[in-house]
A and B are shown apart, each in its own frame.
Chain A
Amino acid sequence: MRELTFVEAAREGLAEEMEKDPTIFVVGEGVGARGGNFNTTTGLYALYGPERLRDTPISERGFTTLCTGAAMAGARPVVDWMFLDFGVDAMGDLIHQTAMIQWMSGGRLKMPVLLRGCIGALGSAAAHHSGNYYPLFMHIPGFRVVVPTTPYDAKGLIKTAIRSDDPVLFLEHRGVLTNKGPVPEEEYLIPFGEAAIVHEGNDVTIVAIAYMVNHALKVSEQLADEGVSAEVIDPRTLVPLDIDTILESVHKTGRLLIVDEDFAPCGAGAEITAQVVDRAFDDLDAPIRRLNGASTPSPYSLPLEAAVLPNPATIAQAVRDLLME
């Protein structure tokens, strides 16, 4: 099977949908002729022109809320924030308009807007270009939150996201943009709410989010040499969350470690922990552990940045510690 990078796969998904549906248009800084800072729209401007690949001034609240209005009036906008860090400028309207309009109108107005941007710390991008923040959106009723890791997932999920009538956060960790993997030629979609078991095992369950999946897979191979069989689960979508797959795994292994670059308090791991304790209490052989990035803004200097992020060594040690419990 042919292999694509994450970026190519996501772009192919977007291109396929744009070809089918003329109401889809992309809005963002540099998404026009330039093709997007992260090559999200390369080649599309030549096909569809400025009306559907719309360059914007730096006005995230402005164009995000504008797209909210466009979505409820019958179009399917894609808001390309480049960095999620920029997109949170629109937070007020995202909560009050984007997330609430479907409910307030009793379902008569739909909100088919895709909100995408890069997340995560990489290469000393530092405090204002390294955020994750997805729990903010997990928390507000009305949003779907998608965090793919593989090219296969990127394409299948972006198509589902574009076709969804809900507002969807499509968050792409910069560390996975260069992930390469098999992508079928034939069209396929991945539904929301289906986690992927990326490595099967019996001794411990590791739920990893975004770039942490890359690390967790390395760790699972390393641990196999130590005689530890780890099951690695990539939730792929945080809302809706496939808690059943995680519960089945915990039923098997009895031990759960959640690895998430984002901050621990009220994070995705906290939510998963609460649900697992609620429904699989008697399956637990040890406390549930979370390994998160440190609760600080993202540092610039390399040793500082490295110190705040989970890495394969710390993940492996966390697994060993958990097995001791």
Chain B
Amino acid sequence: MAKKTGADLSKDQMLALYRQMLVIRRCEEQLVRSYQAGLIYGACHTYIGEEAIATGVCAHLRVDDAVLSTHRGHGHALSKGVSPRELIAELYGRATGCSGGRGGSMHLFKPEVGLLGTSGIVAASILLGAGAAYTFRLLKTDRVSVSFFSDGAVNNGAFHEGINLATAWGLPVIFVCENNLYATEVPFSEATRNPSVASRAQAYGLPGVEVDGNDVLAVYEAAGEAVRRARSGEGPTLLECKTYRTRPHAEGMRDAGYRTKEEVEEWKARGPIKRFKERLLDDEVATQQELNQIDAAVKAIIQEAHEFAQNSPMPDPATVLDHVYSTP
């Protein structure tokens, strides 16, 4: 018999959250293997360890809401509606990728599901998200936009200008800071003397909420309130989700020198999927067998996606000049 959880979600909803986190995890693990096998060029920044945030926030979004993200955007893309096939194909540089092979890991686009882009430039998402929100309001809709960024962005001018403008103008945007304590190899504690991102909100006049980013239900609850605020015209919210990436900044980079193995292991033990799985079992929301079934199903999807991507054609070089301008 299922107990009611703190977030008052149904069993189906909880399992959906679990499944989504697993899709991200297994997909990223595949990409790690593919990267090492030489199937991916350029950079690949994996979301492993942070799955709860993308999952918990995007669970509240509609297809016509917007998401803007950063170089570490696979999780947001998958949560917003980009299929594993399209994501993997994009990183393999295929024409069937969500950006037609033009963008790779850091420049994912699928406007059809509201993914207005991930960017290789840190902090741009803050301003672009505020801009999309401006349009949603101008067009008199109740659509919202979410800007995902990490601790590395909060000391950039775009953070200051974007959050200020969005708050001054009351825009329907949610700013989600995924504080994973390191910007590449620079610890957040060295980049600024104020360890709390959420507390900065006060300076701009919008609510700042600190959340355990590895607790998908906590993220879900906080994000739900922020999305509600935005949709009802109450303006933006700054969510600081404390989390940790358990892999190096980017695939192929060494993980040594700036953090200890112990620290990594400690955070792995507090990983979002592990914790949620334990909770689902402890609260008797699901059985091991049900969870195993979800596991197997997700594995199969990712395997199929990988094969699809491998068999997809490369983009035609003759098209490379297309779309520099809207009309030639």
Cα(A282)–Cα(B169), bound, Å: 60
CB-CB under 8 A for A61 and B127, given A104-B102, A105-B99: yes
Neighbouring B residues of A97 by C-beta, 8 Å: 119, 121, 124, 128
Neighbouring A residues of B165 by C-beta, 8 Å: 56-57, 59, 62-63, 66
Residue of A nearest to B322 (CB): A107
Tell me the smallest distance from the CB of A25 to a CB of chain B, in Å. 6
CB-CB under 8 A for A93 and B325, given A66-B162, A73-B136, A104-B117: no
Interface size on A, residues (CB 8 A): 45
Tell me the smallest distance from the CB of A59 to a CB of chain B, in Å. 4
Contact of A103 among B102, B132, B135 (CB under 8 A): B102
Q: Are A61 and B119 in contact (CB under 8 A)?
A: no
Q: Are A68 and B128 in contact (CB under 8 A)?
A: yes
Task: Indicate if A289 sits at the interface (CB-CB under 8 A).
Answer: no
Cα(A73)–Cα(B139), bound, Å: 10
Neighbouring A residues of B68 by C-beta, 8 Å: 69
Q: Are B135 and A104 in contact (CB under 8 A)?
A: no
Interface size on B, residues (CB 8 A): 45
Cα(A93)–Cα(B102), bound, Å: 19
What total count of A-B pairs have CB within 8 Å? 150
Q: Are B127 and A104 in contact (CB under 8 A)?
A: no
Cα(A93)–Cα(B127), bound, Å: 10
Task: Indicate if A70 sits at the interface (CB-CB under 8 A).
Answer: yes
Neighbouring A residues of B137 by C-beta, 8 Å: 51
Neighbouring B residues of A57 by C-beta, 8 Å: 161, 164-165, 168
Task: Indicate if B157 sits at the interface (CB-CB under 8 A).
Answer: yes
Residue of B nearest to A99 (CB): B324
Neighbouring A residues of B246 by C-beta, 8 Å: none
Residue of B nearest to A111 (CB): B326
Task: Indicate if A155 sits at the interface (CB-CB under 8 A).
Answer: no
Task: Indicate if A212 sits at the interface (CB-CB under 8 A).
Answer: no
Residue of A nearest to B168 (CB): A57
Q: Are B324 and A62 in contact (CB under 8 A)?
A: no
Q: Are A96 and B119 in contact (CB under 8 A)?
A: yes
Cα(A144)–Cα(B325), bound, Å: 9
Task: Indicate if A165 sits at the interface (CB-CB under 8 A).
Answer: yes
Question: Using an 8 Å CB-CB cutoff, how does the interface string of A94-114 with B read, 1 for contact, 0 for none?
Answer: 001100011111111111000
Q: Are A96 and B169 in contact (CB under 8 A)?
A: no
CB-CB under 8 A for A70 and B134, given A57-B168, A63-B165, A106-B99: yes
Tell me the smallest distance from the CB of A157 to a CB of chain B, in Å. 16
Task: Indicate if B207 sits at the interface (CB-CB under 8 A).
Answer: no
Neighbouring B residues of A92 by C-beta, 8 Å: 121
Task: Indicate if A182 sits at the interface (CB-CB under 8 A).
Answer: no
Tell me the smallest distance from the CB of A137 to a CB of chain B, in Å. 13
CB-CB under 8 A for A105 and B132, given A66-B127, A75-B139: no
CB-CB under 8 A for A166 and B99, given A25-B138, A62-B164, A69-B129: no
Residue of A nearest to B114 (CB): A73
Neighbouring A residues of B102 by C-beta, 8 Å: 103-104, 106
Cα(A243)–Cα(B131), bound, Å: 36
Q: Are B127 and A68 in contact (CB under 8 A)?
A: yes
Tell me the smallest distance from the CB of A55 to a CB of chain B, in Å. 10
Q: Are A102 and B326 in contact (CB under 8 A)?
A: yes
Cα(A110)–Cα(B135), bound, Å: 14
Task: Indicate if A71 sits at the interface (CB-CB under 8 A).
Answer: yes
Neighbouring B residues of A62 by C-beta, 8 Å: 127, 157-158, 160-162, 164-165
Tell me the smallest distance from the CB of A265 to a CB of chain B, in Å. 25
Neighbouring B residues of A171 by C-beta, 8 Å: none
A: which residues have CB within 8 A of B? Answer: 22-23, 25, 51-52, 54, 56-57, 59, 61-63, 65-75, 77, 92-93, 96-97, 101-111, 141-142, 144, 164-166
14 residue pairs A–B, Cβ–Cβ below 8 Å: A25-B138, A62-B164, A65-B162, A68-B128, A69-B68, A69-B128, A69-B132, A72-B116, A72-B131, A77-B131, A92-B121, A93-B127, A165-B327, A166-B326
Given contacts A62-B157, A66-B162, A70-B138, 4 further A-B contacts (CB under 8 A): A68-B131, A97-B121, A104-B117, A105-B323
